[in-house]
Chain A
Amino acid sequence: KAGVTQTPRYLIKTRGQQVTLSCSPISGHRSVSWYQQTPGQGLQFLFEYFSETQRNKGNFPGRFSGRQFSNSRSEMNVSTLELGDSALYLCASSLGGLGKYEQYFGPGTRLTVT
């Protein structure tokens, strides 16, 4: 099976712009989660989608949003970018099952905001 794919892998944006990141989960996986990784805050949970519904949300401002499509692919959007949004954004997929299964991570999208 193909692994989790994320596009783009690298992105440079200017403060104030918006960005959309994409994640394709492993075939058959219905849960997609997003995480932000920074040197200062570590790995922080953004949100989880399951069957096109947001099942859980982390403590991030409303500028961070996401969605999931019927084929389980997911996108996350960050509007009005700030310098502090520079991070590695990781997507993970799992079978679902309310956290009973391991998660498989994509390679990440490294976002740099200048």
Chain B
Amino acid sequence: SQQGEEDPQALSIQEGENATMNCSYKTSINNLQWYRQNSGRGLVHLILIRSNEREKHSGRLRVTLDTSKKSSSLLITASRAADTASYFCATVAGETSGSRLTFGEGTQLTVNP
């Protein structure tokens, strides 16, 4: 079963615009990670944010985490056509879970040139 939900399920924007995707989860976590997947291929790791962190940046990506609301958001600034992909959040619950990732349902992002 999925840990949580992502919204929107699909997002279509123009090149140069910003894209924001949200993720909610149900249990306490050790960390939360965002991944990108192009057309049914393997997942590419984007950012890992730990439960004691509130915000993290990587290039054009900004991730926030609100553990009190059990939610996270991924912001992609100045989007490009190459950003078109599915984006997934995934949580690691705690040390007893090992490296087990529990994924959300994903957001399909389409960036139109």
In the complex, whether B75 has a CB less than 8 A from a CB of chain A is no
**Contacting residues of chain A (4-58) with chain B, CB-CB under 8 angstroms:** 4, 31, 33, 35, 37, 42-43, 45, 48, 50, 55-56, 58
Q: Do A105 and B42 have beta carbons less than 8 Å apart?
A: yes
| A56 / chain B contacts, CB cutoff of 8 Å | 97-100
Check B106–A105 contact: CB distance below 8 A: no
Contact of B95 among A94, A98, A101 (CB under 8 A): A98
Interface size class of B (residues with CB under 8 A): 20 to 34
| A90 and B42 contact, CB distance less than 8 A | yes
A1 adjacent to chain B (CB < 8 Å) = no
Is B98's CB under 8 angstroms from A90's CB? no
Number of interface residues of A (CB under 8 A): 32
- The answer on a CB contact under 8 Å between A98 and B41 is no
CB distance from B1 to the nearest CB of A (A): 8
Q: A99-B98, A104-B45 are in contact. List 13 more A-B contacts (CB 8 A).
A: A43-B103, A45-B100, A45-B102, A48-B100, A50-B98, A98-B97, A98-B98, A99-B100, A100-B30, A102-B48, A105-B43, A106-B42, A107-B41
